[in-house]
């Protein structure tokens, strides 16, 4: 069973379960569990307060699968990698920062998960192709793709009508085309 930490969005307040009760099996939020089937990340996104966390045990029947998680050097992507690793998935961490990629990879390995990292920018065709080839060779193939890369590229505007058309094109290329390119590339190979 993997352990997934869910925020209060759509799952009701943590008080329904009780914070101490939900975290009791782990001896508190800041302690690491050495059993990779019960993943316990050592730190959380500072925007997520511990009082909003609940523990959900599940078995997604993914043991032995291989996953590429783009944008997984921090935030939601890193947490996806942790959860999948806790399910027995061999994960390929992807991002542009070697330090952050190495940190997430090492964190997963310390609790018994299998992880490697592949640096690269998947928002370009050449970058995507390089990441896919290296990710596939990391664990001799990819079974699962988590398209997590993407951010708004434009500056803040008072109205979306104020955004230059080129910013809309840049957003589309970074957030949509990059994801579609990865899906196409992995399904064709």
What would the pLDDT profile of 34-58 be if each residue is shown by its tens digit? 444 444 444 444 444 343 344 455 6
What 3-state class would DSSP assign to 151? coil
Phi-psi region of 149 (alpha: psi -120 to 50; beta: other; left: phi over 0): beta
Question: Are residues 38 and 78 both part of a single domain?
Answer: no
Mean pLDDT within 93-121? 96
Question: Are residues 151 and 87 both part of a single domain?
Answer: yes
Around 26, how many Cα atoms within 13 Å sit in the side-chain half-sphere? 27
Question: Are residues 172 and 109 both part of a single domain?
Answer: yes
Q: What is the residue range of 15's domain?
A: 1-59
pLDDT at res. 158: 83
pLDDT at res. 155: 73
Question: At CA 158, angle to CA 155 and CA 161, rounded to 5?
Answer: 85
CA pseudo-torsion sign 168, 173, 177, 178: negative
Please give the share of the chain, as a percent, with pLDDT higher than 70: 67
Question: Are residues 66 and 51 both part of a single domain?
Answer: no
Q: Is the pTM of this model over 0.85?
A: no
Question: Are residues 46 and 135 both part of a single domain?
Answer: no
- 2-11, 33-42, 65-74, 81-90: range with lowest mean pLDDT: 2-11
């Amino acid at each position: 069973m993997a352990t997934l930490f869910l925020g209060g969005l759509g799952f009701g307040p943590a008080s329904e379960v009780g914070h101490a009760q939900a975290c009791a099996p782990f001896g508190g939020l800041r302690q690491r569990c050495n059993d990779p089937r019960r993943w316990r990340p050592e730190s959380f996104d500072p925007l997520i307060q511990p009082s909003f966390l609940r523990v959900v045990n599940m078995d997604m029947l993914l043991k032995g699968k291989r996953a590429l998680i783009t944008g997984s050097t921090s935030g939601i992507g890193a947490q996806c990698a942790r959860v999948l690793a806790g399910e027995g998935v061999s994960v390929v961490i992807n991002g542009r920062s070697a330090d952050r990629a190495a940190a997430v990879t090492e964190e997963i390995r310390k609790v018994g998960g299998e992880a490697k990292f592949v640096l690269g920018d998947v928002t370009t065709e050449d970058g995507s192709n390089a990441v896919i080839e290296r990710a596939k060779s990391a664990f001799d193939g990819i079974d699962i793709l988590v398209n997590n890369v993407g951010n708004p590229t434009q500056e803040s505007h008072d109205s979306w009508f104020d955004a230059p058309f080129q910013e809309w094109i840049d957003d589309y290329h970074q957030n949509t085309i990059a994801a579609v390119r990865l899906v196409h590339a992995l399904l064709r190979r």
